[in-house]
Amino acid sequence: MLGGMLTTVTSTHCPYCALQCGMNLRPAGEGGEGVEVVERTDFPVNRGALCGKGRTAPAVLSSRVRLAGPLVKNPATGELEPATWEEALRAVAEGLRRTRDGHGADAVGVFGGGGLTNEKAYTLGKFARLVLGTSQIDYNGRFCMSSAAAAHQRAFGLDRGLPFPLEDIPRTGCVILVGSNLAETMPPALRYLTELKENGGRLIVVDPRRTRTAEQADLHLAPRPGTDLALALGLLHLVVAEGRTDDDFIRDRTTGWPDARAAAMSHWPALVERITGVPVPQLREAVRVFCEPDNAMVLTARGPEQQSKGTDTVGAWINLCLATGRAGRPLSGYGCLTGQGNGQGGREHGQKADQLPGYRKLDDPAARAHVAGVWGVDPDTLPGPGRSAYELLDALGTDIKALLLMGSNPVVSAPRAAHIQERLESLDFLAVADVVLSETAALADVVLPVTQWAEETGTTTNLEGRVLLRRRAIQPPEGVRSDLEVLHGLAELLGWEKGFPTDPEEVFDELRRASAGGPADYAGISYRRIVEEDGVFWPCPEADHPGTPRLFLDRFATPDGLARFVPVTHRAAGEETDEEYPVVLTTGRVVSQYQSGAQTRRVAELNAAAPGPFVELHPRLAERLGVAEGEPVAVVSRRGRAVAPARITTGIRPDTVFMPFHWPGEGRANTLTNPALDPTSRMPEFKVCAVRLEAAARAGGQAPGAGRAADQAAGRAAGG
């Protein structure tokens, strides 16, 4: 049963990824007590297409899989037991207050999520800084797009995932897609690449795996994981050597070229081939295909970003765009394919450790004064910047003794996850607001069940920077409350009777004022405009401003209007392979699960399609290990051991294995991953770590092969 009956068709957006596909909801089932997703062809981004996750999203509205009421841990038994909302909110307020009074405001942490609506992210940041007075707030979006955001800021003075709408992609001449598997992560977006090719454009895919996306490419470059920085530098080297730079663009629209050029020239093709494994003729071919058309784009995703050098890696791809004049012009540019549902908006309005709403900097006195004015407080009362996501989680149980967590499941999604689970277990107090009893919620002292997607109204900002409205279609069940109601209730109990409204539109109107004049300016955007215009692109400073689908056409957002070349050079991953750990592990997603799987693992149809983790490996590696398709493989890193069935394919390099990260337990990929952080973005290195493989013992039998490290090292040498 759902919470309440839907009587009319409601246009809204998918609860999952950053494409934010448009969809309609209509009554379903006898008596109309259910809801089903139907096509919404008038929304331009997906034109009615949906992936299986979007189509099955109503399944998570069912009371059979979700939390029905608050839970509070019984100290005598250690078990979570049903409680009233009043008891649960009082327990949370008391837990946070006790910690703050006993250990100081920064002993209380707050952790948010890239799936929260703009209104929730804004209110969570305000709650942390005003009510709790803590600087210790960050969110799981740090794990997702922060390196691209940092590189954007550095080069262009502004971070918006795509500086152009998706509709421009089919009309450019060439796209280099780096570390993105759209066929699995956002299938409806694949049509933009199909149309590109139908229009005569060319597609180059950079990925260590021959993914379903890579199979669409005219040219597939498969570098060793963690070496795409060298690859981009090698391409730029060839651009210079072959006289393909756009010297007018470099002179008129950029600064810093001589140093970036010098850095690229030290990455000559033969060296780049040795580092990446990509043959020189392929490098030359890529440069030719990229440079020949009048327009071209580079699009990156988690591949280059989730590295301890992610900011520099993205920076190298931006340098390639700038040197060839493929930026700040129609149908050309660099863009990041944001991943999480509100990954873009979630990083703009104050749940990030160093930010205030409107993408303002927390250490900027003018920004503090503006936002404090909107909030009606003295700017000096606002705390300063806090720790980044992994550093915050790593400090749990030591410096940070209590945590309020909303919309995140770090037990599955954080790097070095077993350690993070221990840190969560060592807290004095943990409160989790979520839709379902996630693996993290199961550790909490108090669990607050909240509304979701079709039960609430709020805005998200998709990967294009288009602000959208998700609309409430049905009444939520009796026992749940919205995140805004939760924060309102807690604020009241902690002495803030005003300032935390529960009406999303009222929150959005305040967010507009707080963002006014900032880099991500929403001042001119209203709920009414979003509905009438199929979304509004920020910046949109006035009510009569048309919004900004295309950025940087006249000037970049730097003080002098020029884009910045930043000189970058290749460096090793945080953890390189060696005799003991001779194979590279890279991680990612599959089409039928989403992020930590907290929602999608509860959908029967999705579980049937993607029932569990696996280890993808090359036949040569499988043979050395002595495992056959489907047999268990243990993957061991310096941080732990995970076991999952082998999936053998020639579509992966022989020196590399791949695991999807959606599952907890024995097959949890993030047990293995390395929390080495990028020095600028503080993003962990999910895409590269050193492992060894062992053929795990079959039930009732011996391990079929020794899987010795030296044998695997031989595989590495062969992988080249």
Binding positions for ligand SF4, rule: CB under 6 A: 14, 16-17, 19-21, 46, 50-51, 53-54, 186-188
Nearer to ligand SF4 (CB atom), residue 15 or residue 539 = 15
Helix (H, G, I), strand (E, B) or coil at 704: coil
Closest to ligand SF4 by CB, 337 vs 367, is 337
Would you list the DSSP string of 119-156?
HHHHHHHHIIIIII--S-EEEGGGGTTHHHHHHHHHHH
Dig out the tokens for 299 from the structure.
């699009």
**CA–CA gap between residue 590 and residue 216 (Å, rounded):** 17
> Rounded CA gap, 24 and 277, in Å?
47
Kindly state the smallest distance separating residue 406's Cβ from ligand SF4, in Å: 21
Strand ordering across the sheet containing 536-537: 458-461, 466-470, 536-537
Helix intervals (H) in 306-461: 310-323, 343-346, 365-375, 389-394, 410-413, 417-425
Of the two residues 18 and 232, which places its CB atom closer to ligand SF4 in the complex? Answer: 18
The least CB distance from residue 525 to ligand SF4, in Å, is 21
Q: Which of 316, 371, 344 is nearest to 462 (CA)?
A: 344
Q: Between residues 16 and 429, which has the closer beta carbon with respect to ligand SF4?
A: 16
Residues 6 or more apart whose CB falls under 8 angstroms from that of 314 comprise 147, 148, 150, 151, 152, 300, 304, 305, 336
Q: Considering only the C-alpha atoms of the chain, give the largest distance between any 2 of them, rounded to a whole number of Å.
A: 74
Nearer to ligand SF4, 17 or 214 (CB): 17
Closest distance between ligand SF4 and the C-beta of residue 212, in Å?
A: 14
Query: How far is the C-alpha of 684 from the C-alpha of 141, rounded, in Å?
Result: 11
The nearer residue to ligand SF4, 467 or 689, going by C-beta atoms, is: 467
Q: Least distance in Å: CB of 686 to ligand SF4?
A: 20
Residue 19 or 568: the one with the smaller Cβ distance to ligand SF4 is 19
DSSP 652: B
Q: How far is the CB of 407 from ligand SF4 (least distance, A)?
A: 16
- Residue 322 Cβ, how far from ligand SF4 at the closest point, in Å? 30
Task: Give the nearer residue to ligand SF4 in terms of CB position, either 21 or 35.
Answer: 21
What angle in degrees, to the nearest 10, is found between the helix axes of 228-241 and 310-323? 20
Q: Which is nearer to ligand SF4, 16 or 359 (CB)?
A: 16
Least CB distance to ligand SF4 at residue 15 (A): 7
Which of 408, 393, 397 shows the shortest CA–CA distance to 438?
A: 408
- Are the beta carbons of 583 and 619 closer than 8 angstroms? no
Considering the complex, what minimum distance in angstroms separates the CB of residue 588 from ligand SF4?
15
Please report how close the Cβ of residue 46 comes to ligand SF4 at its closest, in angstroms. Answer: 6
Closest CA to 616 of 576, 585, 642: 585
- Residue 300: name the closest of 339, 336, 333 by CA: 336
Bridge partners (DSSP) of residue 355 are: 361
The CB-nearest residue to ligand SF4 is 54
Work out how close the CB of 396 gets to ligand SF4 at its nearest, in angstroms, rounded to a whole number. 30
Q: Is 349 exposed, middle or buried (0-12, 13-18, 19+ CB in 10 A)?
A: buried
Q: Is 193:185 a contact under the CB 8 Å cutoff?
A: no
Between 224 and 601, CB nearer to ligand SF4: 601
Nearest residue (CB) to ligand SF4, 51 versus 260: 51
Q: Output the CA torsion 470→475→476→481 (10° steps).
A: 80
In eight-state DSSP terms, residue 332 is B
Using DSSP, state whether 395 is helix, strand or coil: coil
Structure tokens at 15: 């609860």
Residue 45 or 507: the one with the smaller Cβ distance to ligand SF4 is 45
Which runs of consecutive H residues, i.e. helices, occur in 414-522?
417-425, 483-493, 504-515
Between 190 and 367, CB nearer to ligand SF4: 190
CB 54, min distance to ligand SF4, A: 2
Nearest distance from C-beta of residue 545 to ligand SF4, angstroms: 27
Nearest approach, Cβ of residue 516 and ligand SF4 (Å): 29
The residue type found at 564 is R
DSSP state of 204: E
Taking alpha carbons only, the member of 418, 419, 425, 420 closest to residue 442 is 425
